[in-house]
């Protein structure tokens, strides 16, 4: 069972974004959680056929593993044992699976479906 303090610190992050149609993208960088639950990832996003670009993202995690966008809106709750959850962002559905089975290596897989979205995003985390 995962608790917020399990995530504290710096992690290597490797992500693949695989659309049903279009160019695949990769993100290589780091993710960091503070003791207070602030989450930040930063690295390089590479999309086939385009120059690489710097990318970053921030969230806030609460002690119960609820995740909030940077502006304070609720995003989703991470299942402490791993497993499925999701987020509806009208008109798009974001379904996610957290896999902690090889902790401290773990994976998050998103399936995103909407009128103009149809992709899978797989993020692999490992301790640095």
31-55 pLDDT, tens digit per residue, is 999 999 999 999 999 998 899 999 9
Query: Does 1 fall in a domain?
Result: no
The H or E element spanning position 4 is helix 4-7
Q: Taking all residues of the chain, what is their mean pLDDT, rounded to a whole number?
A: 95
Share of the chain above pLDDT 70, in %: 100
What integer pLDDT is reported at residue 120 of this predicted model? 97
pTM of model > 0.85: yes
Secondary structure of residue 118 in the 3-state scheme? strand
Residue 99 belongs to domain spanning = 6-127
- Counting every residue written for the chain, the total comes to 128
Position 73 confidence tier, pLDDT thresholds 50, 70, 90: very high
What integer pLDDT is reported at residue 116 of this predicted model? 86
Query: Does 96 fall in a domain?
Result: yes
In the predicted structure, residue 97 carries a pLDDT above the cut 90: yes
CATH number of the CATH domain containing 98 = 2.40.128
- What is the DSSP code string of 95-117? EEEEEEEETTEEEEEEEEEETTE
What integer pLDDT is reported at residue 75 of this predicted model? 95
Q: Which residue has the tokens 């056929």?
A: 49
In the predicted structure, residue 14 carries a pLDDT above the cut 90: yes
How many domains in the chain? 1
Question: Measured between alpha carbons, how far apart are the two ends of the chain, in Å?
Answer: 21
In the predicted structure, residue 121 carries a pLDDT above the cut 90: yes
20-32 pLDDT, tens digit per residue, is 998 899 999 999 9
Percentage helix, strand, coil, to 5, in the chain?
5, 65, 30
What integer pLDDT is reported at residue 23 of this predicted model? 87
């Amino acid at each position: 069972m995962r608790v917020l303090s399990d995530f504290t610190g710096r992690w290597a992050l490797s992500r693949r974004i695989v659309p049903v149609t279009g160019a695949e993208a990769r993100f290589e960088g780091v993710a960091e959680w503070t003791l207070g639950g602030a989450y930040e990832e930063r690295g390089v996003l590479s999309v086939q056929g385009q120059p690489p670009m710097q990318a970053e993202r921030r969230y806030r995690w609460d002690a119960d593993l609820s995740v909030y966008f940077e502006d304070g809106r609720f995003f989703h709750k991470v299942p402490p044992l791993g497993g499925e959850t999701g987020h509806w962002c009208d008109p798009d559905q974001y379904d996610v699976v957290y896999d902690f089975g090889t902790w401290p290596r773990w994976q998050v897989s998103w399936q995103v479906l909407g009128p103009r979205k149809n992709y899978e995003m797989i993020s692999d985390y490992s301790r640095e």
